[in-house]
Chains A and B, each alone.
Chain A
Amino acid sequence: MALIEPDIRIEPMEGLPALPAISGIPETKEIEVINIPVLIIGGGPAGLSAGIELGKRGIPAILIDDKHRLGGKLVLQTHRFFGSSAAVYAGTRGIDIATKLEQEITRYHSVQIWLNSTGLGVFSDHRVGVLKDGNVYKLIKPQALLIAAGAREKSLAFMGNTLPGVIGAGAFQTLVNRDLVIPAKKLFIVGGGNVGLIAGYHALQAGIEVAGLVEALPECGGYKVHKDKLLRCGVPVYTSHTILSANGKEKVESVTIAEVNKNFQIIPGTNKSFACDCVLIAVGLESVNEFYLKAQQYQMNVFAAGDADEIAEASAAIYAGKIRGLEIANALNASREIIPGYWHEMSEILKSKAGQSDQGLLPELTDGVLPVLHCTQQIPCDPCSALCPKELIEIGDNDIRNIPVFLGNAYQCIRCKKCVAGCPGLAITLVDSRKDPDYPIVSIPFEFNIEVLREKELVTLLDTTGDFLGKLPISRVYAIPKMDKTLIVEVKAPKAWAAKIAGIQVQDPSITAPLNTDIENIENDTIICRCERVTAGQVRELIRSGHRDINQIKAITRAGMGACGGKTCTNLIYSLFKQEGIPLKDIVNHTLRPLFIEVPLSVFAGESTVKENEHSE
């Protein structure tokens, strides 16, 4: 997987590329077959955690990952994680969790790590084809195979969805958080799950404007704290809205959205357009399951963990990986340990979706010091409780999904502000009324470049859901030692709304205002298969004429015949079937075949452009 580097040139191509002529006859070599107890595909939270369990028990394993460093999508996560502080590093930023797991696994010598190495296919002879170091083909025959290859993003069909500037959340986070490239000036987000909400926050942190976010459901599927964080930054969230089109000639210039009813039908006359140069698609994930399905078909001893098994948070993947690691050790008779019951419990807790929300009572302010917990939704998260040195914040019933409660009184808090800086949802403020009960000092967590504040004499303060409270000058900005970069901003606020303050607006409202002019949609049918440029119209026509076998739709239109092998369009074709009212049981899926990515013929002939072991582990 190529890293983005300065001076990389990407050029559009007319027609087909010419295959270069070569001189001489290539030398060919036999392909090595490696027998190993365990092969792990994927070095993200699940794969690493499983590898660590195997490593602890000295079980030989190879872990492959197609990226240049371990950690999977953790590497792209610059925010503090939810989850359990004791079990899965909650409160730590994702990228730092990656480093911790990486350091741990490299301590165990029985686990070989192959970076830049991609699984190409699972074959009926129980061998897995792996492109090692990007250029050497190896066949691995494991006794147990663990698929921890994560998830891929779902796509969405809308007009203009192939315009440059329409981008998946993963690609966006890779560019912004890993490669430190700013791919847009102004973003519009489609999808209110955690991925979309977090991507919006990351964009703001990178200095990218966010014009808004649409979510087709009446409420965002992501954690409320993530949504509130965005709202408090000044990003409007349009629930019960969908994207109609991305507009522009050569690239995205604007986006048009509309309101939908409870059947997700567009309500006429509710169109709004916003200027933006990037539309970020975050409409859900699906498991990378091609390895698992093939291995199952060929009756291999196969396991799956993390998103490759079930889409959930990275913290859940860490635990699932741990469990699978031990299960594999037991399955290979390399250990006879009973998997502790609390592992399973924790795994279930970490996987759980957001639960009930309550109204969130604001505390009565006195002349003392009180934290305000703007945390009103049941999610698996506990850093506030774990961080409080006085143990004044409790999460009841030993279940980290409960809503935290401040148990102390106004005179017990020692104002360490660890809870303020350490809450992953930035949902705790501290109100200090000791000096001036009418104008208490409010400490607010802040994760943006301090320069954003320096320019401003007054900052706009917003409540939990982003509603305007007032404008005030900043009295102090500082960082707490060992609290990993989060800043604390202090303002003196009138007692009447001091406890309501939950955040500082970083984005001017003019940025998110809709355009006055109507945007005309491009006369361009929506593309379903990007590899082969197949439109929704072509596929729909076949569905209407009675076709139910996706193999046949593929044969006629070429949808799914491209380089990606139907990883994007299959989903969209299913949604077209759904729109046409065809029951799932009538639809025949296309046949899954290796290779899962395209690879030059030379590697199968045993050649490598770089000598083997040149960049060995």
Chain B
Amino acid sequence: MNEKQLRKSYDVILVGAGSIGTPLAFYLSKAGLRVLVIDQNASIGQGSNKKAIGGIRATHSDPAKIRLCMDSLKTFSTWKEEYGDDIEWYQGGYCFVAYHDIEEQKIKNLLRTQKNLGLNISWLDRKDLLEIVPDLNPVELRGGSFSPEDGSASPLLVAHAFYIHAIHQGAEFRFNETVTGLEIKNNRITGVTTNRGSYASEIVVNAAGAWAGQIAALAGIKLPVHPDAHEAAVTEPVAHFLDPMVVDIRMAPGSSNFYFYQHATGQFFFCITPEPKIWGFNTEETSNFLPQVAKRLVNVMPRLNQIRIRRTWRGLYPMTPDGFPIVGWCNEVQGFYLAAGMCGQGFMLGPGVGELVTRNILNQTTTEDESISNYISPYRTFSEQEMLQ
């Protein structure tokens, strides 16, 4: 029997079962499309999704991410009611703290934009901020922004929930399978070949995260997505005492900002942004991370001094030149859709992006979708820099 006869065909093939591919499979299959998801790893979310610490905020600085994450927040916050799965959603808010004039100005400048875009976020002075986060180091604390509608959930449980429901809706997943080629005829995509077979589809979505550049290259497309590495850690669970994600945007030797929060399970998660960035695909843990982050953590929240660290890991931020995602149709190859370069925010963007891509594929794009498409277009100039990454 030849392979062509065996070859299965789908309405949409997704490359990558991570933060973007898994919710997208859910929304596409929910809309009745026949979906195949191919991933090189053994199960969902094994690339960067499981490395995410779980923060979800709509308080960004551009209309596109704000809009997409607001959609995501709606999904996260109502998931349990709607679908019954506990995804450990906790609405504790986000808080950017300022200890110097420079951060205070930076945060306040951003606040104006954010308020104009309709976000529920405000500046709290030192006293008000300490009421919300009583355990902050009060010495020289100026105040900070607080956005109560943001929150957190478990990336692992979210991916699983989307996966299980997608399967029930008929989506197929093929794991341990590497995409080795994209079939293109007359500038139209016709299917995907892997190390184990080939599958037909007129629509292929590149949701390969840090590896999206390699997938795009199979179609001869140069996608400006390059990962850099961030390390994170989780602690033992302790009784709840911290509501919001705390973000400290001060520079320190070896790092720019860092952030931490208390998850619904009582565990603390924290992560640091290395400065200068560490480019590449290496996800091996270094001995620098814990001492580096520990110094910052005990300074911002002395009470964390005695919390026990459980595990540490290193994950990838698929970065674009301007820090904004790349979401949209590829002009050079018809039927090839790019949903990549989430810049470390794939988890919080996932549901919103999944819904947007689904509308694009179903030709149900709204005017609101069109209004944000320029910000995330694959064909923008990539010259703007995001104010707060």
Contacts and interface: CB of A to CB of B under 8 A. Distances in A.
The dominant DSSP class at the A interface is loop
Interface stretch (B73-81, B114-122, B293-301): B293-301
Given A19-B239, A602-B305, A548 B42 contact: yes
A595 B312 contact: yes
Interface stretch (B62-70, B101-109, B187-195, B282-290): B282-290
Contacts of A121: 285, 287, 312
B346 to A, nearest CB: 16
Contact of A606 (B175, B241, B295, B312): B295
A31 interface: yes
Nearest to B44: A552
Given A26-B302, A606-B291, A601 B307 contact: yes
Contact of B311 (A18, A31, A137, A593): A593
B137 A25 contact: yes
B320 interface: no
A19 B302 contact: no
A21 B299 CA distance: 14
Contacts of A86: none
A121 B295 CA distance: 19
Interface stretch (B153-161, B216-224, B322-330, B335-343): B153-161
Nearest to B310: A598
Contacts of A298: 284
Nearest to A553: B43
Interface stretch (A124-132, A432-440, A483-491): A124-132
Contacts of B298: 25-26, 28, 601-602, 605, 607
A30 B294 CA distance: 11
Interface in A551-610: 551-552, 555-556, 563, 565, 588, 591, 593-595, 598-602, 604-607
A598 B237 CA distance: 11
Contact of A555 (B159, B266, B307): B159
B313 A593 contact: yes
A604 B285 contact: no
A556 B305 contact: no
Given A298-B284, A556-B157, A602-B298, A17 B43 contact: no
A500 B128 CA distance: 87
Contacts of B304: 19, 601
Interface residues of A, number: 47
A588 B306 CA distance: 35
B50 A605 contact: no
A338 interface: no
Contacts of A341: none
A16 interface: yes
Contacts, number: 149
Given A28-B295, A121-B285, A606-B291, A599 B308 contact: yes
A17 B238 CA distance: 5
Nearest to A29: B295
A551 B312 contact: no
B360 interface: no
A551 B46 contact: yes
A593 B285 contact: yes
Contacts of B297: 601, 605
B373 interface: no
B361 interface: no
Given A124-B286, A552-B43, A28 B299 contact: yes
B185 to A, nearest CB: 35
A530 interface: no
A25 B286 contact: no
B287 A127 contact: yes
A269 interface: no
A584 to B, nearest CB: 14
Interface string B165-203: 000000000010000000000000000000000000000
Contacts of A15: 239
A65 B282 CA distance: 31
A22 B303 contact: yes
Contacts of B266: 16
B307 A124 contact: no
A600 B295 contact: no
Nearest to A141: B287
Interface in A2-23: 15-22
A129 B311 CA distance: 13
Contacts of B238: 16-19
B42 A123 contact: no
B310 A563 contact: yes
Contact of A588 (B43, B288, B307): B43
Contacts of B285: 121, 123-124, 593-594
A588 B286 contact: no
A547 interface: yes
B308 A600 contact: yes
Contact of A125 (B43, B286, B294, B309): B286
A549 interface: yes
Contact of A551 (B42, B284, B295): B42
Contact of A600 (B41, B44, B302, B306): B306
Given A549-B46, A595-B311, A601-B235, A556 B160 contact: yes
A420 interface: no
Instruction: Name the residue in A28, A121, A129, A139 with the highest tally of chain B Cβ atoms < 10 Å from its Cβ.
Output: A28
A481 interface: no
A593 B290 CA distance: 13
Contacts of A24: 302
Given A549-B43, A551-B46, A594-B311, A139 B287 contact: yes
Interface string B256-300: 000000000010000000000000001011111011011101110
Nearest to B242: A19
A31 B237 CA distance: 26
Nearest to A297: B284
B135 interface: yes
Interface in B92-140: 135, 137, 139
Interface of B: 41-46, 50, 135, 137, 139, 156-157, 159-160, 175, 235-241, 266, 282, 284-288, 290-291, 293-295, 297-299, 302-313
21 contacts: A17-B238, A19-B241, A19-B303, A25-B298, A31-B291, A121-B285, A121-B287, A123-B284, A124-B284, A125-B287, A129-B287, A551-B50, A555-B50, A555-B157, A556-B157, A595-B311, A600-B309, A601-B235, A601-B298, A605-B291, A606-B295
Q: Which 3 pairs across A and B sit closest by C-beta, in order of nearness?
A: A124-B284, A604-B294, A555-B156
Given A30-B291, A124-B282, A129-B287, 12 more contacts: A15-B239, A22-B305, A28-B294, A124-B286, A137-B291, A551-B42, A552-B44, A563-B236, A594-B285, A600-B308, A601-B308, A602-B298
